[in-house]
Amino acid sequence: MAAKQLKGVILSIEDTLLNTGKIKADIFAEVEKLMAFFTLRGIKPVLLANRQWTISDHNNNKKDLFDFLEEHFKDLTIFTPQRNAKIPHKPSSAATQYVLDAMNWKSNEIIYIGSRDDDMRTAVNGKILFLRAIWYSNNTDYGFEFSEPKELARFIDTLCLRKHFWSHEIKDGDFEYYSLAPFSTYKPEFRKYSENARAAAKFGQGDVDFWLGALVTSMYFTGIHQRIDFIAAYPGHKAGVGNVKMNDDLMTFGKCFNKGYLHDLIERHTTATKSQNARREGKKIDHHNQLNTIKLNKLPKKNYGKKYKNAPLKFGKTVLLVDDICTKGWSLEAARKYIERTGAKTIMVTWLKTINTDIETIGVTQEFDPYQVTTFTNTPLGKTYGYHTYHVDGAASEELGEQLQQYIDWDWPN
């Protein structure tokens, strides 16, 4: 699917544009800046509302809120069954589809900004990325949370308006891999963002929200979310499950599209040797370091809730596998081999890809149970994907570096 560009936003009224009761003028002034930002960036705002609203003026006279908003925000287009009976009510998928058809938009050319469970359900039913406004009040646990309009505008400006979503792409039969940009702490053009990403991935420092936001928006605007059933993060080298840096955001991303986040799908049953420790100790490690230290959980938990009663992975299902920094790809490739044994397929994505290092597949041929601890020996490597052959967009790294700096320095545009 060709990458989409952000064209518009669907907004809710209650606790998004305005709060109930007496208007909080200081926050509404920030909302006004957000609406002006949309105009400045050529993003079309539309309002989707079910019921009639009124507002009181300074003399306590009642006024139609839709009329007030149209007068106040000249670019705003309003969709409501109160004005047009043909417009379906939220939270039905028909409501957002009506807006999409009227505006000639695709679902992943827009985002939904709301604050309540009803907004969340509307976005999920419409398969639209949900950004949750909590600047007036915090009403639901779903969606990507933004505490002020400025924070949301920064997210859109630095992450949603990118034109170069993946620097590396490999699509070869059942092998599918994507990465945001090259990784190198030596090359000057890559060093700053690479150091930031490494600090975020390894220590929870740097700008974790930026990297996860970049990954989420790249997957959304290129339509990857439409082709998956489950999401799983590859665990760190220590025994355990999940990835503490990514769990929350990946679960939120999954919930936006009713995809299950399986934090405990891939279990590191034995601590793996870290490559830097092996180099320091003069030991040589290879792909067996990953193959022999993981297995799958047959009945994982969906979104940290109840365990599945039956194995969710089977033929026809696709798992999105996520990791931070990829070198030769052995981690994700080991997980792919285990998942393939269930009949399911994978799509693999990472924040960054180490420069000048080819990705190597693993040629597992033996029969094994992916839910049991297995010891592999003398497993050959498989196909090699050359770094330069699949480095498809050199502008992605430059753009990502610029956007990271903008993210750090961001303020309302003049």
Host domain of residue 75? 8-160
| CA end-to-end span of the chain | 35
Same domain, yes or no, for 255 and 374? yes
Distance of CA 105 to the CA centre of its chain: 20
Tell me, what CATH number does 136's domain have?
A: 3.40.50.1000
Same domain, yes or no, for 293 and 192? yes
Same domain, yes or no, for 154 and 178? no
Tell me, what CATH number does 391's domain have?
A: 3.40.50
Per-residue model confidence as pLDDT tens digits over 246-294: 999 999 999 999 999 999 999 999 999 877 666 777 778 899 999 999 9
Same domain, yes or no, for 128 and 276? no
DSSP string, 278-323: HHHHT----THHHHTTEEE-SSPBSTTSPBPSS----TT-EEEEEE
- What tokens were used for 23? 């208007």
In a domain, 94, yes or no: yes
In a domain, 335, yes or no: yes
Question: Do residues 355 and 187 make contact, with C-beta atoms less than 8 angstroms apart?
Answer: yes
- What tokens were used for 338? 């285990």
Same domain, yes or no, for 155 and 172? no
Same domain, yes or no, for 192 and 150? no
CA distance 344 to 328: 23
Q: What is the pTM of this model?
A: 0.95
- The H or E element that residue 350 is part of is strand 345-354
Same domain, yes or no, for 79 and 190? no
In a domain, 291, yes or no: yes
Mean pLDDT of the chain: 94
Q: Which of 116, 141, 160 is the last residue of a domain?
A: 160
Q: Which residues contact 108 (CB under 8 A, 6 or more apart)?
A: 4, 127, 128, 129, 220, 221, 223, 225, 226
Q: What is the mean pLDDT of residues 156-185?
A: 97
In the numeric block, the tokens 């769990």 are attached to 247
Q: What percent of the chain has pLDDT over 90?
A: 86
In a domain, 77, yes or no: yes
What is the pLDDT, as a whole number, of residue 278?
A: 67
Q: What is the mean pLDDT of residues 5-30?
A: 92
- What tokens were used for 220? 């959304």
Same domain, yes or no, for 122 and 270? no
In a domain, 135, yes or no: yes
Residue of 239, 256, 237 whose CA lies nearest to 248: 256
Per-residue model confidence as pLDDT tens digits over 110-166: 999 999 999 999 999 999 999 999 999 988 888 999 999 999 999 999 999 999 999
In a domain, 406, yes or no: no
SS3 content of the chain, % helix, strand, coil (to 5): 35, 20, 45
In a domain, 306, yes or no: yes
CA distance 414 to 412: 7
Same domain, yes or no, for 250 and 329? yes
Same domain, yes or no, for 110 and 19? yes
CB atoms within 10 A of CB 395: 11
Q: Which of 127, 160, 193 is the last residue of a domain?
A: 160
Per-residue model confidence as pLDDT tens digits over 340-352: 999 999 999 999 9
What is the pLDDT, as a whole number, of residue 309?
A: 96
What is the pLDDT, as a whole number, of residue 140?
A: 84
**Is 61's pLDDT higher than 80?**
no
For the ranges 59-63, 74-78, 123-127, 212-216, the lowest mean pLDDT is seen at: 59-63
Q: How many domains does the chain have?
A: 2
What is the pLDDT, as a whole number, of residue 57?
A: 64
Question: Do residues 167 and 387 make contact, with C-beta atoms less than 8 angstroms apart?
Answer: no
What is the pLDDT, as a whole number, of residue 52?
A: 87
Same domain, yes or no, for 135 and 253? no
Same domain, yes or no, for 232 and 325? yes
**Is 1's pLDDT higher than 70?**
no
What is the pLDDT, as a whole number, of residue 275?
A: 75
